[in-house]
Amino acid sequence: MTNTARPTHTREIHLAARPVGAPVATDFAFVERELPPLADGEILVRNTWMSVDPYMRGRMDDAPSYIPPFALGAALEGSAVGEVIESRAATIAVGTLVSHFAGWREHAIVDAATATPIDPELAAPYQFLSVLGTTGLTAYAALTDAAPVRPGDTVFVSAAAGAVGSVAGQIARALGAKRVIGSAGGPVKARKLLDVFGFDAAIDYRGGDLTEQLADAAPDGIDVYLDSVGGEHLRAAVEAMNQHGRIALVGAISGYNGDTDRPAPDLYLAATKELTLRGLLVTSYLPLFAEYIPRAASWLADGTLRTAETVYEGLDQAPAAFLGVLTGANTGKMLVRLE
């Protein structure tokens, strides 16, 4: 089936140079390219939203990791949603809304087997890149499996005004936490933790000593910590943990631009407190979507879960959005609207 309005060309963003330290605008190149005819089994998607995520910084380095580096001179990749405007796949019809992994471009040709139809009745399409996507799933996997929350726990969440953190604080509460503490950069975000995302206590990590602020916020200690930051945050959390505490190692954004001069946690303290520190990759939890999506959708519907997005407009703004997510320009999920 062919749509008569099929574009002949599209624009995409390539990695022009590997950043040294923080990325800069010249690390990205805008490229116009022809859209070839579809092969059997492919679909053409008009992307309407794309995600920018902190982990993409690691893929810009030419270093071995859990996911291959971005190639120089090729289009960047990442999660996106859009509308199928041409299909040579029996399984996905024109007009279907899908999520897929060919973001950073206005149109994408993808193998239909790698695209997932999304249900617009369940939530707005962009929410499949945020609360109903891998960011929400990361929070859920962290707090139900890697560092499970038990009723009555005190839970600490870092990067708490961000995509994973803002959802995690609310999920912790829904799972029975007694006290939920978040940290974020600056007084405005700290206020939002209390007023928008329902945290009991908020720490502005830029506003004073983190260890002291955490001790004040958690006088009875912490049982669960979701670590998105590493460095000073992880060190302070280990100090504040209760016996048999659980830590989900989700990310370490304070080091993503290569800052190696960061404090390390006291692992002897972790040993004597009998802590569990467990890493997680959300890609290992994709089957958990089947449990998470209906649960999160009902939490969204009944107001248990409130979400926020920071939206940059148009492909031209995608590099700025990405630089912004690394420096805290976002509250909730950082997204780029392409429609």
Beta strands in the chain (DSSP E): 9-15, 28-34, 42-51, 80-87, 97-100, 107-111, 116-117, 154-157, 179-184, 201-204, 222-227, 241-249, 276-279, 309-313, 333-337
Angle between helices 289-301 and 163-174 (to 10 degrees): 80
Q: How far apart are CA 257 and CA 15, in angstroms?
A: 16
Place of tokens 């040579």: 88
Q: Out of 82, 103, 165, 265, point to the residue binding ligand NAP (CB under 6 A).
A: 165
Asked whether position 253 contacts ligand NAP by CB under 6 A, the answer is: yes
Q: Out of 60, 131, 147, 161, point to the residue binding ligand NAP (CB under 6 A).
A: 161
For the stretch 7-43, what's the b/e string if a residue is b when 16 or more beta carbons lie within 10 angstroms of its beta carbon?
eeebebbbbeeebeeebeeebbeeeeeebeebeeebb
Q: Out of 11, 31, 35, 55, point to the residue binding ligand NAP (CB under 6 A).
A: 55
Tokens standing for residue 227:
């670590």
Q: How far apart are CA 337 and CA 2, in angstroms?
A: 25
Q: Out of 250, 270, 323, 336, point to the residue binding ligand NAP (CB under 6 A).
A: 250
Window contacting ligand NAP (CB under 6 A); options: 3-11, 67-75, 160-168, 286-294: 160-168
**Minimum distance between the CB of residue 37 and ligand NAP, rounded to whole angstroms?**
36
Q: How far apart are CA 199 and CA 107, in angstroms?
A: 39
**Minimum distance between the CB of residue 269 and ligand NAP, rounded to whole angstroms?**
21
Q: Out of 10, 135, 170, 213, point to the residue binding ligand NAP (CB under 6 A).
A: 135
Residue numbers 202-241 binding ligand NAP by CB under 6 A: 228-229
CA nearest to 324, candidates 335, 308, 316: 335
Asked whether position 131 contacts ligand NAP by CB under 6 A, the answer is: no
Q: How far apart are CA 34 and CA 272, in angstroms?
A: 61
Residue numbers 56-115 binding ligand NAP by CB under 6 A: none
**Minimum distance between the CB of residue 240 and ligand NAP, rounded to whole angstroms?**
16
Asked whether position 254 contacts ligand NAP by CB under 6 A, the answer is: yes
Q: Out of 100, 189, 192, 246, point to the residue binding ligand NAP (CB under 6 A).
A: 189
Count of positions on this chain that bind ligand NAP (CB under 6 A):
28
**Minimum distance between the CB of residue 112 and ligand NAP, rounded to whole angstroms?**
25
**Minimum distance between the CB of residue 18 and ligand NAP, rounded to whole angstroms?**
18
Q: How far apart are CA 256 and CA 32, in angstroms?
A: 30
Residue numbers 280-339 binding ligand NAP by CB under 6 A: 280-282, 325, 328, 330, 334
Check: CB of residue 252 under 8 Å from CB of residue 227. Answer: yes
Q: 51 vs 96, which CB is nearer to ligand NAP? A: 51
Using CB under 6 A as the criterion, which residues of the chain lie in contact with ligand NAP when the complex forms?
53-55, 134-135, 138, 159, 161-165, 184-185, 189, 228-229, 250-251, 253-254, 280-282, 325, 328, 330, 334
